[in-house]
Chains A and B, each alone.
Chain A
Amino acid sequence: MNQKQKFIHVLFLTISLVFTGHAAHGSIHENNVDSVNNMLVLHEGRIKPMGSLARNLLLQFSGRTRYQKHTALEWFVRLILTPSDALDDRVFLINHPEIPQALGLSLDKHRRYSFRELYDHIGKLEELAQMAFVLEDKERSLVEAEIMRVMVNLKVFMGLAESFQFAYPHEAYNIADSEVLEFLGFASHHHQLNFLKLFRNRNKMSSVLEGLDGTDSSKWTNLEKSIYKLSQQMFYDSHDKKDLPLKIIPIQGQDETLWLSPWEVILLPRRNEKIDDAVDQLEKMLSSYINHDPLEFQLSVRAFNQFVYGQIQKEFPLKKIRQENIYNALKPFFYSKVFYGLGLLVCLLSLLAWGRSLGKVSLSCLLLGSLIHLAGIVLRILIMSRPPVSTLYETFVFVGWMSVVLALAMEFFNRDKIGLLVGNFAGLVFLMIAGRYAAEGDTLVQLVAVLNSNFWLATHVLSITTGYAGVCVAGILGHLYLITILVNKSKYKQDRLEKIYRTMLGALGFGLTVTFIGTMLGGIWADQSWGRFWGWDPKENGALLIVLWCSIIFHAKAGDIIGPLGVAVGSIFGIIVVMMAWFGVNLLGVGLHSYGFASGTAIKLGAFTACEVLFMFVTYLLARKRLGVKL
Chain B
Amino acid sequence: MKSIYQKLSKSRAINFLSSLELSVVCLSLLAILTFWGTLYQAEYGLYAAQQKFFRSWIFMSAGFIPFPGTRLVLWVFTVNLMTSVLFRQSHAWSNFGILLTHYGIILLMIGGFVTFHFAKESQVTLKEGASTSLSADYIDWEISIWQSHNPSRDITAVWTGPSLEGVSVPLPELGLDLTIQKYLVNCDAFTASRSNENSLNMNSSGIQSLQEKSPDVEPAKNTPGVIFTVLSREGEKSDILLYSQDPRPTIVSVGGKSYMFQLRHRRYSLPLGMHLKDFRMTKYPGVEKAKSYESTVEIDTGRLKRDIVISMNDPFRFDNHTFYQASYMIASDGSEYSTFAVVRNAGRLIPYIAISLTGLGLINHFLIKLILAMRKKRSNRKKK
A413 is contacted by which of B30, B358, B377 (Cβ under 8 Å)?
A: B377
> What's the count of A-B pairs with C-beta under 8 Å?
156
A630 proximal to B (CB < 8 A): no
Given the contacts A45-B287, A588-B42, A559 and B24 also touching, CB distance less than 8 Å: yes
Given the contacts A538-B38, A548-B31, A559-B21, A528 and B313 also touching, CB distance less than 8 Å: yes
B179 proximal to A (CB < 8 A): no
The smallest C-beta distance from A566 to any residue of chain B, in angstroms, reads: 11
The smallest C-beta distance from A327 to any residue of chain B, in angstroms, reads: 20
The smallest C-beta distance from A445 to any residue of chain B, in angstroms, reads: 9
Q: Does the CB pair A531–B343 fall under 8 Å?
A: yes
Q: Does the CB pair A45–B31 fall under 8 Å?
A: no
Q: Which chain B residue shows the least CB distance to A525?
A: B313
Please name all residues of chain A whose beta carbon is closer than 8 Å to the beta carbon of B363 when the two chains form the complex: 513, 517
Q: Does the CB pair B369–A506 fall under 8 Å?
A: yes
Q: How far is it, in angstroms, between the C-alpha of A558 and the C-alpha of B343 when the chains are bound? A: 41
Q: Does the CB pair B348–A590 fall under 8 Å?
A: no
A449 is contacted by which of B37, B42, B49, B293 (Cβ under 8 Å)?
A: B293
Q: Mark A528-569, 1 if CB is under 8 A from B, else 0.
A: 111111111110011011001101100110110100000000
Q: Which chain B residue shows the least CB distance to A521?
A: B355
Q: Does the CB pair B31–A256 fall under 8 Å?
A: no
A46 proximal to B (CB < 8 A): yes
B9 proximal to A (CB < 8 A): no
B66 proximal to A (CB < 8 A): no
The smallest C-beta distance from A338 to any residue of chain B, in angstroms, reads: 33
Q: How far is it, in angstroms, between the C-alpha of A544 and the C-alpha of B30 when the chains are bound? A: 10
The smallest C-beta distance from B18 to any residue of chain A, in angstroms, reads: 11
Q: For chain A residues 228-247, which have a beta carbon within 8 Å of chain B?
A: 247
Residue in B291, B314, B377 with the greatest tally of chain A CB atoms within 10 Å: B291
Q: Mark B355-380, 1 if CB is under 8 A from A, else 0.
A: 10011001101100110011001000
Q: Which chain B residue shows the least CB distance to A529?
A: B313
Please name all residues of chain A whose beta carbon is closer than 8 Å to the beta carbon of B54 when the two chains form the complex: 536
Q: How far is it, in angstroms, between the C-alpha of A520 and the C-alpha of B351 when the chains are bound? A: 9
A527 proximal to B (CB < 8 A): yes
A interface size (C-beta, 8 A): 60
Q: How far is it, in angstroms, between the C-alpha of A585 and the C-alpha of B39 when the chains are bound? A: 9
Please name all residues of chain A whose beta carbon is closer than 8 Å to the beta carbon of B359 when the two chains form the complex: 513, 516-517, 520
The smallest C-beta distance from B78 to any residue of chain A, in angstroms, reads: 15
Q: For chain A residues 506-532, which have a beta carbon within 8 Å of chain B?
A: 506, 509-510, 512-513, 516-517, 520, 523-525, 527-532
A42 is contacted by which of B285, B362, B365, B369 (Cβ under 8 Å)?
A: B285
The smallest C-beta distance from A457 to any residue of chain B, in angstroms, reads: 10
Q: Does the CB pair B313–A585 fall under 8 Å?
A: no
Q: Does the CB pair A517–B362 fall under 8 Å?
A: yes
Q: Does the CB pair B322–A536 fall under 8 Å?
A: no
Given the contacts A513-B362, A516-B359, A548-B30, A531 and B324 also touching, CB distance less than 8 Å: yes
Given the contacts A506-B373, A523-B351, A247 and B313 also touching, CB distance less than 8 Å: no
B313 is contacted by which of A413, A450, A555, A589 (Cβ under 8 Å)?
A: A450
Q: How far is it, in angstroms, between the C-alpha of A140 and the C-alpha of B324 when the chains are bound? A: 36
A259 proximal to B (CB < 8 A): yes
Q: How far is it, in angstroms, between the C-alpha of A397 and the C-alpha of B158 when the chains are bound? A: 57
Residue in B30, B34, B292, B342 with the greatest tally of chain A CB atoms within 10 Å: B34
Q: Does the CB pair A541–B324 fall under 8 Å?
A: no
Q: Which chain B residue shows the least CB distance to A47?
A: B285
Q: Does the CB pair B362–A530 fall under 8 Å?
A: no
B284 proximal to A (CB < 8 A): yes
The smallest C-beta distance from B73 to any residue of chain A, in angstroms, reads: 11
Q: How far is it, in angstroms, between the C-alpha of A552 and the C-alpha of B330 when the chains are bound? A: 50
Contact-residue bracket for chain B: 35 or more
Q: Mark A412-447, 1 if CB is under 8 A from B, else 0.
A: 010000000000000000000000000000000010
Q: Does the CB pair A590–B291 fall under 8 Å?
A: no
Please name all residues of chain A whose beta carbon is closer than 8 Å to the beta carbon of B343 when the two chains form the complex: 531-532
Q: Which chain B residue shows the least CB distance to A259?
A: B286
The smallest C-beta distance from B31 to any residue of chain A, in angstroms, reads: 4
B171 proximal to A (CB < 8 A): no
Q: How far is it, in angstroms, between the C-alpha of A450 and the C-alpha of B287 when the chains are bound? A: 17
B41 proximal to A (CB < 8 A): yes
B315 proximal to A (CB < 8 A): yes
The smallest C-beta distance from A114 to any residue of chain B, in angstroms, reads: 30
B352 proximal to A (CB < 8 A): yes
Given the contacts A517-B359, A588-B39, A259 and B341 also touching, CB distance less than 8 Å: no
The smallest C-beta distance from B299 to any residue of chain A, in angstroms, reads: 17
Please name all residues of chain A whose beta carbon is closer than 8 Å to the beta carbon of B27 when the two chains form the complex: 548, 551-552, 555
Q: For chain B residues 206-252, which have a beta carbon within 8 Å of chain A?
A: none
B204 proximal to A (CB < 8 A): no
Q: Which chain B residue shows the least CB distance to A549?
A: B31
The smallest C-beta distance from B330 to any residue of chain A, in angstroms, reads: 16
B23 is contacted by which of A517, A524, A538, A555 (Cβ under 8 Å)?
A: A555
Please name all residues of chain B whose beta carbon is closer than 8 Å to the beta carbon of A538 when the two chains form the complex: 38, 41-42
A542 is contacted by which of B38, B312, B362 (Cβ under 8 Å)?
A: B38
Q: How far is it, in angstroms, between the C-alpha of A523 and the C-alpha of B38 when the chains are bound? A: 17
Q: Mark B13-39, 1 if CB is under 8 A from A, else 0.
A: 000000111011001101100110111
Q: How far is it, in angstroms, between the C-alpha of A273 and the C-alpha of B274 when the chains are bound? A: 50
A309 proximal to B (CB < 8 A): no
The smallest C-beta distance from A261 to any residue of chain B, in angstroms, reads: 11
Q: Does the CB pair A529–B285 fall under 8 Å?
A: no
Q: How far is it, in angstroms, between the C-alpha of A506 and the C-alpha of B365 when the chains are bound? A: 11
The smallest C-beta distance from A611 to any residue of chain B, in angstroms, reads: 20
Q: How far is it, in angstroms, between the C-alpha of A448 and the C-alpha of B283 when the chains are bound? A: 9
A307 proximal to B (CB < 8 A): no
Please name all residues of chain A whose beta carbon is closer than 8 Å to the beta carbon of B312 when the two chains form the complex: 449-450, 452, 529
Q: For chain A residues 555-600, which have a beta carbon within 8 Å of chain B?
A: 555-556, 558-559, 561, 585, 588-591
Please name all residues of chain B whose beta carbon is closer than 8 Å to the beta carbon of A555 when the two chains form the complex: 20, 23-24, 27
Please name all residues of chain A whose beta carbon is closer than 8 Å to the beta carbon of B292 when the two chains form the complex: 449, 452
Please name all residues of chain B whose beta carbon is closer than 8 Å to the beta carbon of A453 when the two chains form the complex: 313
B362 is contacted by which of A516, A559, A585 (Cβ under 8 Å)?
A: A516
Q: How far is it, in angstroms, between the C-alpha of A502 and the C-alpha of B289 when the chains are bound? A: 48
Q: How far is it, in angstroms, between the C-alpha of A588 and the C-alpha of B39 when the chains are bound? A: 8
The smallest C-beta distance from B150 to any residue of chain A, in angstroms, reads: 36
Q: Does the CB pair B355–A520 fall under 8 Å?
A: yes
Q: Does the CB pair A531–B284 fall under 8 Å?
A: no
Given the contacts A548-B30, A552-B24, A531 and B37 also touching, CB distance less than 8 Å: no
Q: Does the CB pair A552–B28 fall under 8 Å?
A: yes
A456 proximal to B (CB < 8 A): yes
B50 proximal to A (CB < 8 A): yes
A257 proximal to B (CB < 8 A): yes
B181 proximal to A (CB < 8 A): no
Q: How far is it, in angstroms, between the C-alpha of A585 and the C-alpha of B54 when the chains are bound? A: 18
Q: Does the CB pair A585–B285 fall under 8 Å?
A: no
Q: Does the CB pair A529–B315 fall under 8 Å?
A: yes
B121 proximal to A (CB < 8 A): yes
Q: How far is it, in angstroms, between the C-alpha of A533 and the C-alpha of B109 when the chains are bound? A: 12
Given the contacts A506-B370, A512-B362, A530-B324, A585 and B38 also touching, CB distance less than 8 Å: yes
B115 proximal to A (CB < 8 A): yes
B65 proximal to A (CB < 8 A): no
Q: For chain B residues 307-361, which have a beta carbon within 8 Å of chain A?
A: 312-315, 322, 324, 326, 341-343, 348, 351-352, 355, 358-359
Q: Which chain A residue shows the least CB distance to B39?
A: A588
Given the contacts A510-B366, A517-B362, A588 and B41 also touching, CB distance less than 8 Å: yes
A171 proximal to B (CB < 8 A): no
Given the contacts A513-B362, A516-B362, A527 and B348 also touching, CB distance less than 8 Å: yes
Given contacts A42-B285, A452-B312, A513-B366, 19 further A-B contacts (CB under 8 A): A45-B285, A47-B285, A448-B290, A449-B293, A450-B312, A456-B313, A509-B369, A513-B359, A513-B363, A516-B355, A531-B324, A535-B46, A536-B54, A538-B41, A538-B42, A544-B34, A558-B20, A590-B41, A591-B46
A-B contact pairs, 16 of them (CB 8 A): A45-B285, A259-B286, A413-B377, A446-B291, A448-B289, A513-B362, A516-B355, A517-B355, A524-B352, A524-B355, A530-B341, A531-B322, A533-B351, A536-B41, A538-B42, A544-B34
Q: Which 6 A-B pairs have the closest CB atoms?
A: A559-B20, A45-B284, A520-B355, A531-B343, A588-B42, A513-B362
